[in-house]
Amino acid sequence: MDEKSKKEAVIRIAGVVRESIVDGPGIRFVVFCQGCPHHCPQCHNAVTHDFTGGYDCSVDKILEAVDADPLLDGVTFSGGEPACQPEGFLALAEGVKDRGLNIVMYSGYTYEELLLMAEEDAALHDLLQLADVLIDGRYENDQRDLTLLFRGSRNQRPIDLARTRQEGRIVLAEKFC
């Protein structure tokens, strides 16, 4: 993404959490995007489903908040559904990587669904290349398990994206299991 596009990038968000220890490993800045097509029953973040809710926030403003906290280990993209705003999250991911931080991305889509979508969407493709861990799959209340790290139901997979790309098969992130 060129510098001008990065500077103008905006994400529709429900809000942020400046320091979290429950949305990925270490201390994380969490961006909750607004808008989700999945509408999972008993979703933890149902307030994020409405695509017209929330507010627009510049990527630069989010990165300024990230820069203000030297304790951060990474940034988490949560939802709503980040894959519905790939251009904005790509700009944010590039800024996060420029700062040497890692990225955890949650998606109600499976990795396989995202790969199919990314064939038609270059921004989503590039976003998946920058994310370190993907927690994929819809929340399923009948598979709810409070003992799992960083996810709500057993069907959701913590995928190590770098190793998955390298090995050509889905590899789970061991520190999440």
Domains along the sequence of the chain with CATH: 3-176 (3.20.20.70)
Cα–Cα distance for residue pair 27/19, rounded to 1 Å: 6
Strands (DSSP E) found in 21-109: 28-33, 55-58, 74-78, 102-107
- Summarize pLDDT for 71-126 with one digit per residue, the tens: 999 999 999 999 999 999 999 999 999 999 999 999 999 999 999 999 999 999 99
Q: What is the pLDDT of residue 46?
A: 83
Average pLDDT over residues 127-154: 95
Sort residue 39 into left (φ over 0), alpha (ψ -120 to 50) or beta.
Answer: left
- Summarize pLDDT for 154-164 with one digit per residue, the tens: 999 999 999 99
- Summarize pLDDT for 17-58 with one digit per residue, the tens: 999 999 999 999 999 999 999 988 878 788 889 999 999 999
Q: Which of 69, 93, 84 is nearest to 33 (CA)?
A: 84
Cα–Cα distance for residue pair 121/95, rounded to 1 Å: 20
